[in-house]
């Protein structure tokens, strides 16, 4: 996410589509960028159906997002102060949810994974909840752009995305 944010800041891309949590402020400043909520998702603590941690393991093997990851910042914020209670033991980290999902499918640990990414694996019974719904993390999906006027095609896209086609500068 940090690389993607830098690309938007340096005008290398016109839009950024990303997960956001209301309690975690975006790194992109609202005076330079505007954002529209375009959807919702939820991070669910999942593991392989074949994983057996026992009843109360000494530590849950934790498949973590890196700190550069937007999802990593969100999960870290929501779990802050609860690590001892959960007894999470970081086993592996990646900035990509798909990589963490692969590790979870291989019974390597628990990962907070987007429901939108894992729906089929949950339906198939290959991924199951590792913790109850109180540990879910609701997300918003946002489309962000610079406040500056963009190309005509970019402005048309923004307009179709459901936002004000001419944001104030």
Q: Domain of 84: which CATH number?
A: 3.40.190.10
- 113, 85 Cβ separation under 8 angstroms: no
134 shares a domain with 63: yes
What per-residue confidence (pLDDT) applies to 60? 85
- The reply to whether 25 and 50 lie within a common domain is no
Check whether residue 127 and residue 102 sit in a common domain: yes
**68 and 144 together in one domain:** no
- Give me the average pLDDT of each 10-residue run along the chain (169 residues): 88 94 88 94 97 70 93 94 81 96 97 98 97 96 95 94 52
Residue 141, CA distances (Å) to 8, 15, 36, 145, 155 in order: 17, 13, 8, 14, 20
104 and 79, same structural domain? yes
pLDDT at 51: 87
Q: Does 62 share its domain with 127?
A: yes
Asked, for residue 66, whether it belongs to a domain, the answer is yes
- Cβ atoms 141, 40 nearer than 8 A: yes
The per-residue pLDDT for 151 is: 94
**Best CA proximity match to 60, nearest among 129, 112, 130:** 130
Residue 46 is assigned to a structural domain of this protein: yes
Please report where in the chains the tokens 């999902």 appear, as a residue: 101
Whether residue 133 sits in one domain with residue 53: yes
* 150 and 128 part of one domain: no
Contact 140, 22 (CB under 8 A): yes
> Domain tally for the chain?
2
Return the DSSP state at 28: S
Q: Is 58 inside any structural domain?
A: yes
pLDDT reported for residue 85: 74
Residue 88 confidence (pLDDT): 87
Within this chain, do residues 50 and 133 fall inside the same structural domain, yes or no?
Answer: yes
Query: Which pLDDT does position 150 carry in this prediction?
Result: 94
Residue 168 located in a structural domain: no
> Are 107 and 154 in the same domain?
no
Q: Could you tell me if residue 94 is inside a domain?
A: yes
Q: Please tell me the predicted confidence (pLDDT) of residue 1.
A: 72
Same domain, residue pair 53 and 29: no
Decide if 163 contacts 157 (C-beta within 8 A): no
166 in a structural domain: no
Same domain, 90 and 31: no
Give me the domain span that covers residue 17.
2-39+140-160
pTM for the model stands at 0.87
């Amino acid at each position: 996410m940090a690389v993607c944010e830098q690309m938007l800041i340096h005008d290398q891309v016109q839009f950024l589509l990303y997960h956001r949590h209301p309690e975690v402020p975006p790194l992109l400043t609202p005076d330079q960028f505007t954002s529209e909520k375009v959807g919702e998702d939820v991070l669910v603590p999942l593991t392989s159906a074949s994983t057996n941690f026992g009843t109360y393991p000494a530590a849950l093997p934790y498949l973590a997002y890196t700190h550069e990851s937007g999802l990593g910042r969100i999960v870290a914020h929501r779990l802050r102060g609860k690590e001892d209670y959960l007894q999470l033991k970081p086993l592996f980290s990646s900035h990509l949810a798909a990589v963490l999902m692969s590790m979870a499918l291989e019974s390597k640990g628990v990962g907070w994974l987007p429901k939108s990414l894992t729906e089929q694996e949950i339906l198939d019974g290959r991924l199951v909840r590792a913790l109850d719904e109180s540990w879910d993390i609701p997300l918003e999906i946002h489309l962000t752009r610079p406040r500056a006027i963009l190309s005509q095609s970019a402005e048309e896209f923004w307009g179709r995305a459901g936002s004000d086609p001419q944001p104030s500068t």
